[in-house]
Chain A
Amino acid sequence: MIRTDVLIIGGGPAGLGAAIETTNRGLKTLLVEENPIYGGQLIKQTHKFFGSHSHFAGTRGIYIQDELLKEIKKEHFSMLPGHSAVGIYDDGVIGIYDSKKNRFKKVSAKKVIVATGASEKTIPFKNNDLPGIYGAGGVQTLMNVYGVLPGKKILMIGAGNIGLIVSYQLIQAGADVVGIVEALPKAGGYDVHLAKIRRMGVPVFFKHTIVEAFGQDSVEGALIVQIDNKWKHLNGTQMQLECDTICLAVGLTPSSEILMQTGIKMTFSPSLGGYVPVHNEFMQTSSPDYFVGGDAAGIGEATSAIIEGRLAGISASDSLGKEKNAEKAYKEHVDYIEKLRDGNTGIKVKKGKYELWNKPWDTSMETFEKKDNTIKIPKGRTKAYVSIECYEDIPCNPCEISCHFKAITVGPNITDLPMLALEKCTGCMSCLAQCPGLAIFGINKNLAPGRTGITIPYELLPLPEKGDPVWGADRDGKIICSARVEAVRKNKNKTHLITISVENEYAENVRHFYPGASGDVLICRCLDITADEINDAIDRGYTDFEELKRYLRVTTGPCQGRGCRQLIMNMIRAKTGEDVSSHSTGTPRPPESALPFSAFTKGGGK
């Protein structure tokens, strides 16, 4: 029997958060984590987190677990990776399974904190068990942990944050997302996540659902259909899409089955994602021995999972007499979590929790005054500036912190929109690389006469190089003009800044680019002579066909000018404006097409 003061089940952000509090109060703490790697969902999250800068916002998920681990007091801590808690028995003993050694072990703990996270929901459709259909978490694990691409052409089901983020990650890993299917008329995920994948040209099929998957041994395609607001399929709108992978991102549900074995009170809460253990504001369940935190206590996000975990840790310590000023210890965390859940995006969870706590709910809490953060750019502005395209009250403030000139203000309510003081913005573009939503762009109207520089935060490969020709795309990913890469600023955090230039009239709309083909326009194929070489020669004064022929040797190859004569004449006309019909087009000489010399010797001619 392993004996400990506190057992924490689950090594995600909530479990690690709890361990910080219990170990720092001198409690002997054991953490069991089913996976060989700790970190829970964090280990797959390559994107920068939202929330407050003081709580890891702007840091990529994959680095957060190490930051948390640093705060845990090691002398009171032991961790068993590859161990799952498989049962809590009537006598309070917890059974754990060591998957590596294939051995069952027993733990006796004074307090248990359950931070087991969530499991993914699925939806019914024909052949939904076909290989190639994966949960979004499965796709993330395969590509971001093991480095294996799930497929080449992916159909995503669900436009919540997970569907949108995983789509983006798939594109980063080199896959093609053929579309996102969403039953609702709008995306459930953050606007900025949607904007990010839209400008990369991923089509989003709103008010659609998947009907069937087809394929022999694995997915070869899917049939989707439009639905009305009663979810009825609308005939005639069926559409077949070719894909080799279908990724389901249709929601998470709390995974606290193990707590059900203890007989604690459970409740069903749609706002929290399903069955959750009844718990108070400080994460104690209906039993004084069990605590819960993170997604297991209601689907939320990682920042609130850390805080809930910490609260659970403080509560457990308090119940063991290890916290002298619990009130004060709780307050900081409770206040922050309240702030996180302000704004339209967090209110659902807040409401679910208030119901659980029997806290009075005032419907006025559901309406938020949204500031207007659009700004007018004065005509005479020549200095570069940033365009902050963040119009939703999500909890996030790294932009404010990143600005050295205090030109961006979010303020104490981190769900407030960022406001730009244009007069203070120097156009330094530091904020672009810090914004987790990649929603800030740099605008420089003074780049070159007639051209605007647009700086885009970019996290794809390959990185372009200065001078590369590219295609400018609008917010829907549609190509609208040609563009040129003017600067590539590499950043340590791997959000690089690419400045492209476009003609002024496209400046308001270009927010993405696709690599253009590098290479030349060939005019004379026989002798490898390019349009640039010919134009250059014309500019230097060789404005007559005969001159060009002598200078560049165009039309003297084996095809005798069949391919290029006309093109060259057109080029001279275009450059000089001259009527070239009177120009000599050279004298073609026999043989009219290439013959072997032996043909002449054998033929006996002279």
Chain B
Amino acid sequence: MRIAKHPILDFKKQKRIPFYYNGEKIFGMTGDTIASALHDNGIMVYRVTDKSRKRGFFCAIGKCSSCMMKVDGIPNIKTCVTELKAGMHIECQKGKGSYK
């Protein structure tokens, strides 16, 4: 959910950009990271570990590796520090990830 109005911060108006999550077209904003755009779309599960545990992001600053996903076919991308670009294909990562 976007913060529409904030008592202290002025969020600049951004452009909506399309991207794909597990093949489905959704939208984020310019300036988003992949993680912030997914979260805004209500998507919380970014990967499922080998022991079937679901993971979302945790630290949001690229330190903990909780948020790794498959981005444009490449696994293990830290989505909390990767800028969202129009047309990106993001997939929920299984286990340690694969290139397939």
Contact = CB atoms under 8 A, between A and B. Distances in A.
A132 B3 contact: no
23 contacts: A34-B62, A84-B62, A120-B59, A130-B54, A131-B45, A131-B57, A132-B56, A134-B58, A134-B60, A135-B58, A135-B60, A135-B64, A137-B59, A141-B61, A141-B80, A142-B36, A146-B36, A147-B9, A147-B11, A149-B3, A174-B4, A461-B5, A461-B7
A460 interface: yes
Contact of B59 (A138, A148, A459): A138
A507 interface: no
Contacts of A147: 2-3, 6, 9, 11
The B interface, classified by DSSP as helix, strand, loop or mixed, is loop
Contacts of A34: 61-62, 81
Nearest to A462: B5
A563 interface: no
Given A131-B56, A147-B11, A461-B7, A99 B81 contact: yes
Contacts of A456: none
Contact of A35 (B6, B36, B44, B61): B61
B79 interface: no
B46 A131 contact: yes
Contact of A46 (B8, B61, B62): B8
Interface in A81-105: 84, 99
Contact of B40 (A138, A148, A174, A461): A148
Interface in A164-188: 172-174
Contacts of B39: 142, 148, 150
A148 B36 contact: yes
Contacts of B58: 133-135, 138
Contact of B61 (A131, A137, A459): A137
B2 A149 contact: yes
A460 B3 contact: no
Given A131-B55, A138-B60, A459 B8 contact: yes
Interface in B1-50: 1-9, 11, 31-33, 35-36, 39-40, 44-46
Interface in A22-39: 34-36
A71 interface: no
Contacts of B3: 143, 147-149, 173-174
B72 interface: no
B56 to A, nearest CB: 3
Contacts of A173: 3, 6
Q: Which of A36, A46, A131, A143 has the most CB of B within 10 A?
A: A131
B96 interface: no
Contacts of B40: 148
Contacts of B59: 119-120, 134-135, 137-138
Contacts of A142: 35-36, 39, 60
B93 to A, nearest CB: 13
Count class of interface residues, chain B: 35 or more
Contacts of A55: none
A132 B60 contact: no
A131 B80 CA distance: 14
A84 B8 CA distance: 30
B7 A172 contact: yes
B19 to A, nearest CB: 15
Interface string A450-491: 000000000111000000000000000000000000000000
Contacts, number: 103
A495 to B, nearest CB: 9
The A interface, classified by DSSP as helix, strand, loop or mixed, is loop
* Smallest CB-CB A-B distances: 6 pairs: A131-B56, A138-B60, A146-B36, A131-B44, A141-B60, A218-B44
A62 B9 contact: yes
B100 to A, nearest CB: 21
A144 interface: yes
A450 to B, nearest CB: 32
A129 interface: yes
A138 B59 CA distance: 4
B56 A36 contact: no
Nearest to B64: A135
Contacts of A152: 1
Contacts of A459: 7-8
A309 B55 CA distance: 36
Q: Which of A141, A147, A459 has the most CB of B within 10 A?
A: A147
A424 interface: no
A60 interface: yes
Nearest to A458: B7
Contacts of A150: 39
Interface in A516-546: none
A592 interface: no
B41 to A, nearest CB: 10
Given A119-B59, A131-B57, 6 more contacts: A35-B62, A35-B81, A130-B56, A134-B59, A141-B61, A146-B33
Interface in B56-97: 56-64, 66, 80-81, 83
Contacts of B55: 129, 131
Contacts of B64: 135
A57 B66 CA distance: 35
Contacts of A3: none
Contacts of B9: 46, 62, 144, 147
A597 B1 CA distance: 53
A98 to B, nearest CB: 13
Contacts of A120: 59
B43 to A, nearest CB: 9
A217 interface: yes
Contacts of B81: 34-35, 99
Nearest to A130: B54
A134 B55 CA distance: 11
A138 B1 CA distance: 15
B47 to A, nearest CB: 10
A383 interface: no
A494 B10 CA distance: 11
Contact of A149 (B1, B35, B62, B63): B1
Interface string A108-136: 00000000000110000000011111110
Contacts of B63: 119, 255
A198 B6 CA distance: 21
